[in-house]
């Protein structure tokens, strides 16, 4: 599918903005970004993997983004770069249509006293902005959002429909918060007392850094005492649960349905696969990749890729199984050492 037309760029303009080496007509007009298969005249597409070369031969695009080593793969006008997928992402931003609504406060919005809303901000219908809440310049709050008392939202951020930001929580600059997100609800803090649960008041905040994107229906709990912190550049997919007092390091990305239990610290530049589970009070080092559906029960102290899960079992049995698995390398080495000591049987 192609993107809607926003404006026309000449190929030379794109290279001037984004870099890369241009081969071909710099005046070729580009209207859209498209896939190799669906592209037609006026479209710019990209080849990110050699297995799609057959589509490159048949494409009707006006120009193609290629890796430098693919410079002779087509006669079409082309932009050569180090990473075609990243270049495509940046080019797509140029063509994204700007749907920013007209600034102002809708007549059906409720704004409490002492809330600070600049003239450049937009507040949609059905919103409630609490007492003392502060919106930055050019913030967009879509329909039916709730911004709690003394909450703060940084400039150029956008909240989709029905987002809830609890009191005193902080969202940084240029955040993109999709529909249904809840930021700052109580963490799951309970103390057992004679067969009953005593609720522990959650008095911290949820603090979201700059350039963070949070997917639809994701929930980020406020801290029990200290804050829950999502650092700059973090990207969270849909339907993720972040427990209280968690800290996620800068530029970490997490896929859908992952869950992080309370007080865990995740490093910077990590990648967490879909439906991964990380139990509480762990530390995950920088540059760690956790595969989809993995269950992390122990801190990870070194960068690398980690995977694995086990079916549920009685707790003692499960712990014994895990202990045996962790001993396999040592046991294998012992067996090999023993085999070397055994006398070799000669064939008759």
pLDDT in tens, 310-343: 665 677 887 888 888 888 888 888 888 888 888 7
Please identify which residue in the block is written with the tokens 């609800």.
185
pLDDT tens digits, residue range 274-293? 999 999 999 999 999 999 99
* H or E, element range at 17: helix 11-18
Domain at 298, CATH number: 2.160.10.10
Rounded Cα distance, 125 and 84, in Å: 41
pLDDT at residue 31, rounded to an integer? 93
Answer whether residue 97 shows pLDDT above 70.
Answer: no
User: Would 333 be classed as within a structural domain?
Assistant: no
Rounded Cα distance, 33 and 318, in Å: 51
User: Would 134 be classed as within a structural domain?
Assistant: yes
Answer whether residue 182 shows pLDDT above 70.
Answer: yes
Cα dihedral angle (155, 3, 26, 51), rounded to 10 degrees? 110
The reply to whether 164 and 298 lie within a common domain is yes
The reply to whether 167 and 268 lie within a common domain is yes
Answer whether residue 43 shows pLDDT above 90.
Answer: yes
CB neighbourhood size of 9 (10 A)? 19
Which string of b and e fits 235-262 if b means at least 16 CB within 10 Å?
Answer: bbbbbbbbbbbbbbbbbbbbbbbbbbbb
244 catalytic per annotation: yes
pLDDT at residue 345, rounded to an integer? 63
pLDDT at residue 347, rounded to an integer? 59
The reply to whether 260 and 186 lie within a common domain is yes
**Integer angstrom CA distances of residue 76 from 38, 55, 145, 337:** 16, 13, 48, 61
**Residue range 197-202: mean pLDDT, rounded:** 96
**Integer angstrom CA distances of residue 126 from 2, 105, 129, 145, 163:** 33, 10, 10, 7, 12
- Please name the residues in contact with 33: beta carbons below 8 A apart, sequence gap of 6 or more: 2, 3, 43, 44, 45, 88, 91, 92, 95
The reply to whether 232 and 250 lie within a common domain is yes
User: Would 315 be classed as within a structural domain?
Assistant: no
The reply to whether 215 and 83 lie within a common domain is no
> Looking at 95, 113, 135, which one is the last position of a domain?
95
The reply to whether 22 and 160 lie within a common domain is no
Q: Which two tokens stand for residue 16?
A: 């001037």
User: Would 113 be classed as within a structural domain?
Assistant: yes
Answer whether residue 49 shows pLDDT above 90.
Answer: no
The reply to whether 155 and 279 lie within a common domain is yes
User: Would 339 be classed as within a structural domain?
Assistant: no
The reply to whether 116 and 73 lie within a common domain is no
pLDDT at residue 5, rounded to an integer? 44
Q: Name the residue among 175, 176, 135, 127 with its Cα closest to residue 153.
A: 135
Burial class (CB within 10 angstroms; exposed 0-12, middle 13-18, buried 19+) of 97: exposed
Of the listed 128, 178, 244, 251, which one is catalytic? Answer: 244
User: Would 1 be classed as within a structural domain?
Assistant: no
> Looking at 62, 95, 128, which one is the last position of a domain?
95
User: Would 317 be classed as within a structural domain?
Assistant: no
The reply to whether 122 and 265 lie within a common domain is yes
The reply to whether 155 and 70 lie within a common domain is no
Q: Which two tokens stand for residue 260?
A: 């992080």
Question: Do 54 and 73 touch, CB atoms closer than 8 A?
Answer: no
Give bridge partners of residue 104 from the DSSP assignment: 122
CB neighbourhood size of 55 (10 A)? 15
Poorest-pLDDT segment among 97-101, 151-155, 179-183: 97-101
pLDDT tens digits, residue range 107-132? 999 999 999 999 999 999 999 999 99
**Integer angstrom CA distances of residue 210 from 87, 187, 282, 290, 319:** 22, 23, 25, 24, 41
CB neighbourhood size of 128 (10 A)? 18
User: Would 297 be classed as within a structural domain?
Assistant: yes
Q: Name the residue among 154, 142, 160 with its Cα closest to residue 238.
A: 160
pLDDT at residue 2, rounded to an integer? 41
Question: How many domains, in total, are found in the chain?
Answer: 2
**DSSP letter (8 states) at residue 298:** S
pLDDT at residue 311, rounded to an integer? 61
The reply to whether 152 and 90 lie within a common domain is no
pLDDT at residue 3, rounded to an integer? 45
Range of the domain at 90: 9-95
- Please name the residues in contact with 165: beta carbons below 8 A apart, sequence gap of 6 or more: 145, 146, 147, 148, 151, 153, 159, 171, 183, 184
The reply to whether 115 and 248 lie within a common domain is yes
pLDDT at residue 274, rounded to an integer? 97
Rounded Cα distance, 167 and 147, in Å: 7
Question: Do 169 and 149 touch, CB atoms closer than 8 A?
Answer: no
Domain at 18, CATH number: 3.40.1390.10
> Looking at 54, 77, 95, which one is the last position of a domain?
95
Q: Which two tokens stand for residue 244?
A: 């209280």
**Percent of residues, the chain, with pLDDT higher than 70:** 95
pLDDT at residue 71, rounded to an integer? 94
């Amino acid at each position: 599918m192609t993107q809607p037309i926003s404006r026309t760029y000449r190929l030379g303009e794109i290279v001037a903005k984004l870099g890369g080496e241009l081969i071909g007509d710099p005046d070729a007009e580009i209207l859209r970004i498209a896939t190799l298969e669906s592209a037609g005249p006026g479209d710019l597409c990209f080849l990110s993997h050699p297995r799609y070369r057959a589509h490159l031969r048949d494409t009707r695009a006006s120009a193609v983004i290629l890796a430098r080593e693919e410079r002779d793969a087509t006669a079409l006008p082309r932009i050569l770069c180090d990473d075609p997928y990243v270049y495509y992402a940046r080019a797509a931003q140029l063509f994204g249509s700007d749907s920013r609504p007209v600034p102002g406060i809708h007549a059906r919005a409720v704004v409490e006293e002492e809330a600070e809303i600049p003239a450049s901000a937009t507040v949609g219908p059905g919103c409630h902005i609490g007492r003392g809440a502060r919106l930055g310049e050019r913030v967009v709050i879509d329909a039916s959002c709730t911004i709690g008392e003394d909450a703060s939202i940084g400039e150029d951020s956008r909240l989709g429909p029905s987002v809830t930001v609890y009191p005193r929580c902080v969202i940084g600059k240029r955040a993109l918060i999709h529909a249904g997100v809840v930021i700052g609800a109580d963490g799951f803090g309970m103390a057992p007392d004679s067969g009953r649960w005593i609720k522990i008041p959650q008095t911290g905040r949820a603090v979201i850094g700059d350039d963070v994107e949070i997917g639809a229906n994701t929930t980020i709990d406020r801290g029990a005492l200290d804050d829950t912190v999502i650092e700059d550049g973090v990207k969270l997919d849909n339907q993720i649960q972040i427990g209280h007092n968690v800290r996620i390091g800068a530029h970490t990305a997490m896929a859908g349905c992952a869950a992080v239990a309370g007080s865990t610290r995740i490093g910077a530049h990590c990648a967490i696969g879909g439906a991964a589970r990380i139990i509480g009070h762990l530390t995950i080092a920088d540059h760690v990749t956790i595969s989809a559906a993995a269950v992390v029960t122990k801190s990870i102290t070194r960068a690398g890729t980690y995977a694995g899960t086990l079916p549920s079992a009685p707790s003692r049995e499960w712990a014994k199984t895990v202990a045996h698995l962790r001993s396999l390398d040592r046991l294998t080495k012992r067996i090999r050492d023993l085999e070397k000591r055994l006398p070799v049987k000669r064939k008759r």
